Amino acid sequence: MKTTLSSKGQVVIPAELRKRYHLREGDTLLVREDEAGCIILEPKRRLADGPRQVTSPVDGRPAFRMEGLPPLTLEQVNALRDG
């Protein structure tokens, strides 16, 4: 993917990536540089948005997930359930 830097220093994140990472207007992105000199944009997690109901891929039942956080693996879910 490719984007262009505007005269104001702004870049457009392609729609495909905005959708994949659930980015919305006004979201905060952390900007950092790695050891190789690459610029990295990292979405700041939106814990204040609260949980969002989704359907479990395991059994199709309603589940909740925090916006901006990756889904739990089956192993993580089992560990939480089993204590």
SS (H, E, C) the chain: CCCCCCCCCCCCCCHHHHHHCCCCCCCCEEEEECCCCCEEEEECCCHHHCEEEEECCCCCCEEEEECCCCCCCHHHHHHHHHC
pLDDT-derived band at 81, boundaries 50, 70, 90 = confident
- What's the pLDDT score for residue 11? 92
Q: Which domain holds residue 63?
A: 46-83
- What's the pLDDT score for residue 62? 67
Residues 51 and 67 reside in one and the same domain: yes
Residue with tokens 């220093």: 9
Q: Which of 62-66, 71-75, 77-81 has the lowest mean pLDDT?
A: 62-66
Residues 73 and 59 reside in one and the same domain: yes
Please state the domain count of the chain. 2
Residues 60 and 75 reside in one and the same domain: yes
Residue with tokens 């905005």: 18
21-66 pLDDT, tens per residue?
888 888 888 898 988 899 988 887 655 555 555 666 667 666 665 5
Residue with tokens 């039942």: 61
Residues 14 and 51 reside in one and the same domain: no
Identity of residue 21: Y
pLDDT-derived band at 5, boundaries 50, 70, 90 = very high
